Amino acid sequence: MRKPIIAGNWKMNKTVGEARELVTALKDKLADVTDVEIAVAPPFTALSAAAEAIRGSNIKLAAQDMYWEEEGAFTGEVSPLMLKDVGCQYVIIGHSERRTYFSETNETVNKKVKAAHAYSLNPIVCVGERLEERESGVTKDVVKDHVVNGLADLTEEQIRNTVVAYEPVWAIGTGKTATPEQAQEVHRFIRELLTQIYSLTVAEAVRIQYGGSVKPDNVAQLMAQPDIDGGLIGGASLDADSFTQIVKFPGC
């Protein structure tokens, strides 16, 4: 059985004080959750304060990106060693906003995924098509390209410790969620790809999150799909009550 994982991607939101306040509230509200793995991804500047505030709780820390080198002359970048040092267990890689605004490619995604594993950070790797790609019928080609190339050359153990986040770009921050059936179809496809590349046993162990306008009122139908193993939550993770309702989705 795959344990669902629900992660809050805060994006470029929250000062240190605001981050401390949000995680402190979540720590309290989510203390009784045992059947869902929970993570929050504050901006780099708030990681340290968030780490301190969640110590001893069931909430794990994630970063939103990283560079693949350990240290050196890479102005503005943050390394896997630094993320590990501050207490991260997860790191989001290849978010569509990074692909769109910061020239992230499958090649850089793959370097980052490998670097994350080298430091025992579990990557949450985002894949997904844009609206024009869905409309022109190439959703599966795009997703296949992201999965095959972004996750190239991983060992079985590494892929088991990787979370794939299917995020249709047209559903991110737009209020337009994929229907549970649309999401399930792509999740199934991703698991089939992993079966071809690795094996059925390995593919059955990999968690595939859905992301894109997940809210308290649509989470349960999405989570009811057999191949949806969690959510990557943007906007609705910025508020303690809505993130709590999502983590404690009915039926979980």
> Tokens 């309702």 sit at which residue?
245
Contacts to ligand PGA from residues 122-181, by CB under 6 A: 167, 172-173
Is 204 marked active-site? no
Cα 171 to chain center, whole Å?
A: 15
Helix or strand or coil: residue 201? Answer: helix
Return the number of the residue (87 or 216) whose C-beta is nearest ligand PGA: 216
What CA–CA distance (Å, rounded) separates 32 from 27? 9
Which is catalytic among the residues 95, 117, 146, 187?
Answer: 95
With beta carbons less than 8 A apart as the criterion, state whether 138 and 178 touch.
no
Beta strand pairing status for 230-233 and 37-41?
A: unpaired
* Residue placing its CB nearer to ligand PGA in the complex, 9 or 79: 9
Which residue of 5, 9, 184, 227 would you call a contact of ligand PGA, by CB under 6 A? 9
CB of 74 to ligand PGA, least distance (A): 25
95 is catalytic: yes
Binding segment (CB under 6 A) for ligand PGA, from list 63-71, 72-80, 217-225, 234-242: 234-242
C-alpha separations of 13 from 39, 70, 151 in Å: 16, 26, 28
User: What's the token pair of residue 53?
Assistant: 């505030």
Rounded to 5 degrees, φ, ψ at 121 are: -100, 135
Binders of ligand PGA among residues 45 to 104 (CB under 6 A) are none
Shortest distance, CB of residue 60 to ligand PGA, whole angstroms?
Answer: 16
Q: Is 232 in the site for ligand PGA (CB under 6 A)?
A: yes
- Minimum Å gap between C-beta 211 and ligand PGA is 4
Number of residues that bind ligand PGA (CB under 6 A): 13
Contact criterion met (CB below 8 Å) for 116 and 80: yes
Calculate the alpha carbon distances from 126 to 75, 85, 94 in Å: 25, 24, 5
**Beta strand spans in 30-148 (E):** 37-41, 59-63, 90-93, 122-127
Site for ligand PGA in 191-230 (CB under 6 A): 211-214
Task: Report which residue's Cβ sits closest to ligand PGA.
Answer: 234
| Complex with ligand PGA: residue 173 or 250, whichever CB lies closer | 173
Q: Cα separation of 241 and 216, whole Å?
A: 9
Q: CB nearer to ligand PGA: give 46 or 198.
A: 46
User: Is the CB of 5 or the CB of 232 nearer to ligand PGA?
Assistant: 232
Would you name the residues annotated as active-site residues? Answer: 95, 167
Residues forming contacts to ligand PGA in the complex (CB under 6 A) are: 9, 167, 172-173, 211-214, 232-236
